[in-house]
Amino acid sequence: MSMTPAGDMANALFLRRQTATLKSIVARHSQELTTGKAADPLRKLRGDSALLASIERSRIALEAYDMATTEARLHTAAQQRVLERLRVDAMDVAGQLLNFGTAVPLQMVDTAGRIGKAAFEDAVNALNTQVGGRHIFSGVASDGPALKPPEDILTALRAAVAGATSAEEVAARVTAWFTPGDADEGFMEGAFDGSDTAKGPVSLSPGERIFMTVTAARPELRDLLSGLAMAALVGHADADGNRVLADQPSERAQLLATSAIKLAGAPVGVTALAGELGDTEARIEAATTRNANERTALELALNDLIAVDAYDAATRLEEARVRIESLFALTARLQRMTLTEFLR
């Protein structure tokens, strides 16, 4: 029986194909030896991908929860910083105003009024703080500021206290303007631009959801703002330069004293609000820890599924290396073959 020898081109194609196959095998075993995981998980699992898909779905869900917890942590931490700033500033302004007393020269009343106005503006700006392009005290309407500009609020307040002839009457109207009620048209229309609907629900982990309930419309923050607004009205002038109770310096001084007393008590409510926020922060941290533990468990389960034996991988890599070196030697010999070599 005669045999037909393979031609040079056929040999070259065969060698090229074998070389490519062996290189692929070497690359695969090298990867497995380095990572400790199967390069082809489906091959390792013999095509049974159900458990692998389940683990991957859980990992994707955890990534989404990670984003939610990170955003919630930044949101609540920023709110805590603002609340602490408001609490400290309220106590500081209260102390300054109380130092002026009620029987003071007109110029000192004006100075105290300017202090109150600056503090009110700072508080409004603090409550309009943004984190990541979202206003943190605006509730679900986080695409816009929680409060109108300070000047607009004071203008609306001046209209509300127009005609008042005593510090007591001005203070009562300001308090009513900020106090939540059935109509609640003062603050909600003249100052608040956000939404009093809590932001959420925010899913932190399977079965764990929270609402961001702290907005600039909360009564505790309104109470603090009303105290600052009383002092701010003393330092505020309209376009014509007119001031509240302008012809009654003693009443203006009394309004400052009322503001100071109100501000002295306001930090209690702000502290309670910070405590409520702290409870939310604790839930966020607990969810973060649970997610981290679940991620670790998933990684361990995945490793158990697709892990490879390091010794076996090293043995197969060495076998493939020997085979490819032999193939290279054969290829080199064939390329050097001449008629003289063939006839020997």
Percent of the chain with pLDDT over 70: 72
Residue type, 83: L
- The full DSSP string for 20-78 is HHHHHHHHHHHHHHHHSB-SSHHHHTTT--HHHHHHHHHHHHHHHHHHHHHHHHHHHHH
In contact, 187 and 178? CB cutoff 8 Å: yes
The terminus-to-terminus CA distance of the chain in angstroms comes to 24
Q: What is the pLDDT of residue 148?
A: 96
d(CA 137, CA 76): 10
Q: What is the pLDDT of residues 30-64, one digit of tens each?
A: 666 566 666 566 666 666 677 777 878 888 899 99
Closest alpha carbon to 12 in 327, 342, 340, 344:
327
Give per-residue pLDDT as tens, 264-275: 999 999 999 999
User: How many CB atoms within 10 Å of residue 298?
Assistant: 16
Give the separation between CA 39 and CA 320, rounded to whole angstroms.
Answer: 16
Q: Is the pLDDT of residue 83 over 80?
A: yes
Give Cα 56 to chain centroid, integer Å.
Answer: 25
Q: How is 209-248 classified by DSSP, letter by letter?
A: EEEE---TTSHHHHHHHHHHHHHHHHH-B-TT--BTTTT-
Residues contacting 229, CB < 8 A, separation 6+: 120, 153, 154, 157, 174, 178
**Range 55-298 has CATH code 1.10.760.10:** no
Amino acid at 185: E
Q: How far is CA 181 from the centre of its chain?
A: 33
pLDDT of 4 reads 45
Question: Rounded to 5 degrees, what are φ and ψ at 93?
Answer: -65, -40
DSSP 119-150: HHHHHHHHHT-EETTEETTSTT-TTS-SB--H
Whether 181 shows a pLDDT value over 80: the answer reads no
Contact 11, 313 (CB under 8 A): no
So what's the pLDDT on residue 29? 61
Element containing residue 274 per DSSP (H, E): helix 249-306
Confidence of residue 289 (pLDDT cuts 50, 70, 90): very high
Average pLDDT, the chain: 83
